[in-house]
Structure 1
Amino acid sequence: MLSTLSRLGRTPRRLARDNSGVALLEFAFGAPLVLMLGLYGIELANQALINLKVSQIALNLADNASRVGLINNANIEQLREVDMNDVLQAARNQGAGINLTTNGRVIVSSLEKDSSGTQRIHWQRCIGQKSGTNYDSTYGTTTTTAGTDTTPANAGTLAPSGMGDAGQQVSAPTNGGVMFVEINYDYKPVVGQWLMSLIGSSSLRIHYIASFIVRDNRDFAQIYNPSPTATRSTCNLYPA
């Protein structure tokens, strides 16, 4: 009986000195934190990569739209609907890996200023299935027929302050134009939205703008659509 009690008395002391299984316990406590940090790193890297891709698409599209067109015999560049469709298709192809036109909206605006100093958004062309607040243009809109002919009814929308965020608006040079591109993209997390919320980043919309001055001798009277006519990528349409 005394021997049994003695052994029982020594058991707590043996357990106190026993360090077997410590590593397993440490792993059990530390694994969730390590896993969370790893997932956070993956999500952060992917988000940075997607931001870079969207910004590059915006820059390339604005640059291409500012240079494309058909040079006529008078050495004047005429921008055609087929030209705009081509540069929009290039943006679509560039963004195929991130499903840009399925998860976002791309708006190209021709911001122009005439000799009197009147500045307008002459016309706009768009692609992408996303619509509504935060996806359609937040810097001004035009009608679907704006820029299709030279009539005053299709002269576009006045934009005296230019386009862009307050205090950072872009303006066109006199007798010139600027191709202004806006992309709004719905970011899809790799891990899940719960992690984005956990790390304090609840917004999943990626927004980029870019602009390039039209450097060629462009005819700003209208955007042409000679035969065989091309389908206009007007902003009342939401194609992928």
Structure 2
Amino acid sequence: MTTRKFLDRFAGVRRLKRDSEGVALIEFAFSLPILLALIFGGLETANYALAHLRVSQIAMTVADNAGRVDTAIDEANIQEVFAGAALVGNSIDFTQNGRIVLSSLQPNNQTGSDEGQMINWQRCMGQLTSITPSYGVEGDGRTDDSLELGMGPTGNKITSADGTAVMFVEVTYNYQPLLPTFGILGTRQIRYESAFTVRDRTNQNITNTQGLTVSSC
């Protein structure tokens, strides 16, 4: 190899070292997975927070609306309450992936050792039928003190006062991730409970004047 050829080749190597074309593209390619993870992770987290908000709203809305029905309560009223819940949860597909348990908790009017609370009636809504009532089913406590302390988790049980009732609501939802393939948050279950005292209703027994299908649990 002649000296000139060697110098030409050496100069070419030096030019190659100084060439910065494509460096930015390579750096972007390396940083893209991290950037995408941050973007999709942020979106997924925001969606998860929104799902929590919606489920909490459903629990409060159902308990509040059921407690507002005055004079007497009918299956038609229950369907209206559940229709409102479905509307609140429409953006998270709640009806397909959630379950509402609405219980009417009230004194069992027993005396002595059998005195306590009872679940006078109970209605459910949502296709997540694997979820069952956590604190009792319709009729529990009617003739005994099995619900003497009321409904709710240990240390935070709720009871109803004489002459009225409490609308106790359990809401469960299987979170639906935006990107299930990536499994950033995966399948998570969201649960909220709420309770409102009945306002002006004097008759706590549920009727079915129109012969509607009962939303039983």
**TM-score w.r.t. length of structure 1:** 0.77
After TM superposition, give the deviation of residue 11 of structure 1 in Å.
Answer: 4.0
Q: Is residue 107–residue 181 contact of structure 1 (8 Å, CA) maintained in 2? A: yes
After TM superposition, give the deviation of residue 223 of structure 1 in Å.
Answer: 1.6
Distance 1:179 1:13 in 2: 81
1:223 partner amino acid: I
Aligned with 2:102 (options 93, 103, 108): 108
Residue by residue over 1:45-73, the C-alpha shift from the partner in whole angstroms, topping out at 9 and shown as x without a partner, is 1121122112112111100101114xxxx
1:231 partner amino acid: T
Q: Provide the residue aligned with 2:136 in structure 1.
A: 140
Aligned with 1:225 (options 196, 208, 212): 208
Structure 1 pair 119–50 and aligned structure 2 pair: CA distance change class (3 A) = same
Structure 1: where are the runs of 5+ without partners? 70-76, 236-240
Q: Provide the residue aligned with 1:168 in structure 2.
A: 156
4+ runs deviating over 4 angstroms: 114-117, 154-157
Residue by residue over 1:111-148, the C-alpha shift from the partner in whole angstroms, topping out at 9 and shown as x without a partner, is 1124555112222101111122xx22222223xxx49x
Distance 1:166 1:66 in 2: 24
Q: Provide the residue aligned with 2:198 in structure 1.
A: 214
Aligned with 1:121 (options 119, 122, 128): 119
Structure 1 pair 44–232 and aligned structure 2 pair: CA distance change class (3 A) = same
Q: Is residue 122–residue 157 contact of structure 1 (8 Å, CA) maintained in 2? A: no
Give the SS at the match of 1:139: coil
| Alignment coverage as a number of residue pairs | 212
Distance 2:187 2:153 in 1: 19
1:107 partner amino acid: V
Q: Provide the residue aligned with 1:96 in structure 2.
A: 90
Distance 1:217 1:90 in 2: 20
Q: Sequence identity, in percent?
A: 37
Give the SS at the match of 2:176: coil
Aligned with 1:130 (options 128, 131, 138): 128
Q: Is residue 126–residue 233 contact of structure 1 (8 Å, CA) maintained in 2? A: yes
What is the root-mean-square deviation in Å for CA atoms of aligned residues?
2.5
**TM-score w.r.t. length of structure 2:** 0.85
Distance 1:7 1:27 in 2: 33
1:139 partner amino acid: Y
Structure 2: where are the runs of 5+ without partners? none
